[in-house]
Amino acid sequence: MSTETDLSLRAAKLLKDSTHSSKGVEVTLKKRLPAGGGLGGGSSDAATTLIALNQLWGTNLPISELAAIGLKLGADVPVFVRGQAAWAEGVGEALTPVDLPQPWYFVVAPPVAVSTAEVFADFARQKQLTPYTLARTIRDLRGLRDNDLEPLVRQRYPEVNRAFQWLAPYGQPRMAGSGGCVFLELPDAGRGQELLNAMLPGYTGFVARGINRHPHYGPT
């Protein structure tokens, strides 16, 4: 791994520089979430590194300061540092905790890595982002759901579009972030296992339950 490209190592170096710690660490990373999947895997890795080293090194920074350090690594890092489902404003640093349903999800990872930078650049050339408000988000959670980037990603990446087409008979599939993972809300974990057993050739997936609070910070 390179300290220039890997978020976990960048997080460790940034915390070390910010606190002037003399301690070190050996980091082993086992990737489970696909790169370019829109699930925030890299940001979660960085946040976990900050939280773990803050305790291991005894730097004892409050969560607010860890989140501020995380923001230097990426807009998604603060929400993972705080470990709470939240409504985000600004560039991702202004977070208001919310309590959401915690259903099971089936996630499909197409055999493609979607470039967030390219997707947003293409979108910016076509039209302005639709403004999001808390009211619109609540509406989306009640069933009128949309993702402004979905049509563009499905057009650019046939593999993502195929995942949508495959899942459509089972419910209302949605795209994770800027893609390319596609997910479906489930009534229970068993239904997800059935879909895993029928997975598209060349695709991977997993079943997970949504949680409002990271287990590190106590029960949900």
Region 135-152: mean pLDDT is: 64
The pLDDT of residue 144: 44
CA-derived radius of gyration, the chain: 18
Rounded CA-CA distance 15/29 in Å is: 18
Region 119-136: mean pLDDT is: 64
The pLDDT of residue 89: 84
Higher pLDDT, 32 or 186: 186
Rounded CA-CA distance 51/81 in Å is: 7
The tokens describing 194, both together, are: 């059935």
The pLDDT of residue 159: 96
The pLDDT of residue 217: 80
The pLDDT of residue 177: 87
What type of residue is 30? K
**pTM of the predicted structure, to 2 decimals:** 0.82
Region 112-119: mean pLDDT is: 85
Out of 1-5, 74-78, 103-107, 139-143, which region has the weakest mean confidence (pLDDT)? Answer: 139-143
The pLDDT of residue 200: 95
Percent of the chain with pLDDT over 70: 88
Domain 104-209 has CATH 3.90.850.10: no
* Residue 26 in this model has a pLDDT that exceeds 60: yes
Percent of the chain with pLDDT over 90: 59
Cβ neighbors of 114 (< 8 A, separation 6 or more) are 36, 37, 38, 153, 156, 157, 160, 178, 179, 180
- As its CATH architecture, domain 7-98 has 2-Layer Sandwich (3.30)
Q: Rounded mean pLDDT of the chain?
A: 87
The pLDDT of residue 34: 84
At residue 96, the 3 state secondary structure works out as strand
Region 30-44: mean pLDDT is: 87
Domain map of the chain by residue range?
Answer: 7-98, 104-209
The pLDDT of residue 28: 87
Out of 6-15, 21-30, 85-94, 127-136, which region has the weakest mean confidence (pLDDT)? Answer: 127-136
- Name the band, by pLDDT with cuts 50, 70 and 90, for residue 87: confident
Half-sphere exposure of 102 (CA within 13 A, CB side): 12
pLDDT 10s digits, 166-183: 999 999 999 998 888 999
